[in-house]
Chain A
Amino acid sequence: MNRRPPQWVIVLALVPAVVLGAPLFALLWRLPWSDLGGALSSEAATSALGLSLTTSLAATVLCIIFGLPLAWMLSTGTGVATRVIRALCLLPIVLPPVVGGVALLLSFGRRGVIGQWLADVGIQLSFSTAGVVLAQSFVALPFFVLSVEAALRQLDVEFAEVAHVHGASPIRVFVSITLPSIAPAVAAGAILAWARALGEFGATVTFAGSLQGTTQTLPLAVYDLLERDPAEAVVLSAVLVVVAVTVLVLLRDRWFGVLRAEAPR
């Protein structure tokens, strides 16, 4: 199994490596190093960075809080209902984000199916930071649920059953036995969800709009600045790249190390 692939396979494999790597390289190459500080300390940049970090982390927390029960339920179910709910959960992955934004408007917008009830009690999600978090959660949740559900399905049920026979409640078994053993998958799912939330553009601009400090996250700021100040747009793009790479590197040993150790089983 460990034999090296033939040379032509390596050549084919290098094509996507270059296609994926070149844009990153070009971005760093075009960075206006001389006024990097100025570009980074601009109000648009700092507010977008702060907003992006807060909203994407909030979305990740929401994904964990609601995604864990969902994944648990999906992993145990076999019926039609389970399959339908799973399909619904995966939809945002294949849906263009802008379509997700339109769907969010029609459901949670001021005149939406659910949104009009919310409006009656004085809650408006569109044009609010909460709306950004909702849009990000919408697109990010599937990545978390998918990752956790897969781990739950592969889990050795023996321990859990023994504990269950010994009288432990399902919640107790899940928290003290199941959760620790799927921790790497939970972490990987959370990172994927966070990365997806951080990069969210289409659903956010469609549903939440774009206003500096309230709804203009980093990707929206990049898009806006590209028409006004391309150099600063490049700087902000690089910030997104650096933030993403830093977190991946920081978490690599901690989480993916565990994943790798578990992989052979």
Chain B
Amino acid sequence: MVSVGAGNVLGACATVDDSTFDVLAASSFTDVAEPLEALLEAEFGIDVRFSFGSSGSFREQINQGAPADVVITADTATMTRLEAAGLVEPSVALVRNELIIVTADSAAGRSVEALADLVDAHSEGDGDGDGDSSRDVIVVVCTSSAPCGAATDEMLAATGIELSPASREPNVRATLTKVLLGEADAAIVYRSDAVAHPELRAVEIGTDNVSVIGRAAVVLDDDSDNGADNALTAGEVLEVLTGERAAGLFAEAGFAAP
């Protein structure tokens, strides 16, 4: 299903005029994308289109020709891999985000006051669904190949706390959704996610928290897919993204300055 969708996008892109400017962004930028898009469209008078995914999948996506003029990753490690693969120009730091716990409005969720309260959570699902662990806090985190998951692993290693998550979701939005739907009692996500969802209670992680630097870079085009025009404006778009007005939008969305 995913590949079919990508194929359609590619097919459309090959025929669409070059005025569409594509930004491929980590899923943690979903909420800030709309105001950013408006800012860029007002500034350049071009049609800007954001698409989202896990930063971990960007190298493959760009390699396979996904339409992208600028790419925004959630952390430095994934951007470094893009740079090493020669897919992007040198990147710039965009924002700083950090981990935070969000809890659902459930009895177990309300009981969470600190990271340590997540331990003993969902005592190793025995899989028969008989719910003998129903009194535990059900925690979901990101999969380790996604930046939020890598950061979570790093943070947990630093604190020496061992979690037994009920699920490791493919990206931060999927992780957040499980708490929004009330399926999980708590999730480890980004501060920006907590800001975007004030209905969820946020619990600080504390001294050993890990922050990630979101980075942006101009995608090097070796095919004519996106046209020369965009290659020229991509650098300017990057300047606006790192400029003062974008910084204001990022701050509103819960991101800190890098």
Chain A interface (Cβ < 8 Å from any Cβ of B)? 96-98, 105, 109-111, 119, 121-131, 202, 205, 208-212, 214-215, 223-228, 230
Q: A215-B125, A224-B170, A228-B56 are in contact. List 4 more A-B contacts (CB 8 A).
A: A111-B182, A129-B129, A224-B145, A228-B145
**In the bound complex, CA of A227 to CA of B127 (Å):** 26
The A interface is mostly helix, strand or loop, or mixed, namely loop
Q: What is the chain A residue whose CB lies nearest that of B78?
A: A227
Which residue in B140, B144, B166, B170 is a CB contact (below 8 Å) of A223? B170
B interface bracket (residues with beta carbon within 8 Å of A): 20 to 34
Tell whether, in the assembled complex, residue A209 and residue B169 are in contact, meaning their CB atoms are under 8 Å apart: yes
How near does chain B come to A100, taking the closest CB pair, in angstroms? 12
- Per-residue CB contact flags for chain B residues 159-200 toward chain A (1 = under 8 Å, else 0) read 000000111111000100010011110000000000000000
**In the bound complex, CA of A121 to CA of B131 (Å):** 8
Q: What is the chain B residue whose CB lies nearest that of A98?
A: B1
**In the bound complex, CA of A96 to CA of B4 (Å):** 13
Q: When A and B form their complex, which 4 residue pairs have the shortest distance between CB atoms, in order from nearest?
A: A209-B167, A130-B129, A129-B127, A227-B56
Which residue in A110, A124, A127 is a CB contact (below 8 Å) of B167? A127
Tell whether, in the assembled complex, residue B183 and residue A126 are in contact, meaning their CB atoms are under 8 Å apart: yes
Which of A121, A122, A227, A230 gathers most chain B CB within 10 Å? A227
The yes or no answer to B222 lying at the interface (CB within 8 A) is no
- Per-residue CB contact flags for chain B residues 73-101 toward chain A (1 = under 8 Å, else 0) read 00000000000000000000000000000
**Residues of B contacting A125 with CB < 8 Å?**
129
**In the bound complex, CA of A96 to CA of B1 (Å):** 9
How near does chain A come to B110, taking the closest CB pair, in angstroms? 15
How near does chain B come to A43, taking the closest CB pair, in angstroms? 13
**Residues of B contacting A109 with CB < 8 Å?**
181-183
How near does chain A come to B239, taking the closest CB pair, in angstroms? 30
The B interface is mostly helix, strand or loop, or mixed, namely loop
The yes or no answer to B60 lying at the interface (CB within 8 A) is yes
Chain B interface (Cβ < 8 Å from any Cβ of A)? 1, 54, 56-57, 60, 106, 122, 125, 127-132, 134, 138, 140, 143-146, 165-170, 174, 178, 181-184
How near does chain B come to A254, taking the closest CB pair, in angstroms? 32
**Residues of A contacting B56 with CB < 8 Å?**
227-228
Tell whether, in the assembled complex, residue A215 and residue B167 are in contact, meaning their CB atoms are under 8 Å apart: yes
Known: A111-B182, A205-B170. A228 touches B144 (CB 8 A): yes
Tell whether, in the assembled complex, residue B170 and residue A128 are in contact, meaning their CB atoms are under 8 Å apart: no
Tell whether, in the assembled complex, residue A127 and residue B138 are in contact, meaning their CB atoms are under 8 Å apart: yes
**In the bound complex, CA of A121 to CA of B132 (Å):** 10
How near does chain B come to A164, taking the closest CB pair, in angstroms? 41
**Residues of B contacting A210 with CB < 8 Å?**
143, 167-170
How near does chain B come to A44, taking the closest CB pair, in angstroms? 11
Tell whether, in the assembled complex, residue A224 and residue B181 are in contact, meaning their CB atoms are under 8 Å apart: no
**In the bound complex, CA of A110 to CA of B133 (Å):** 13
Which residue in A98, A208, A209, A227 is a CB contact (below 8 Å) of B145? A227
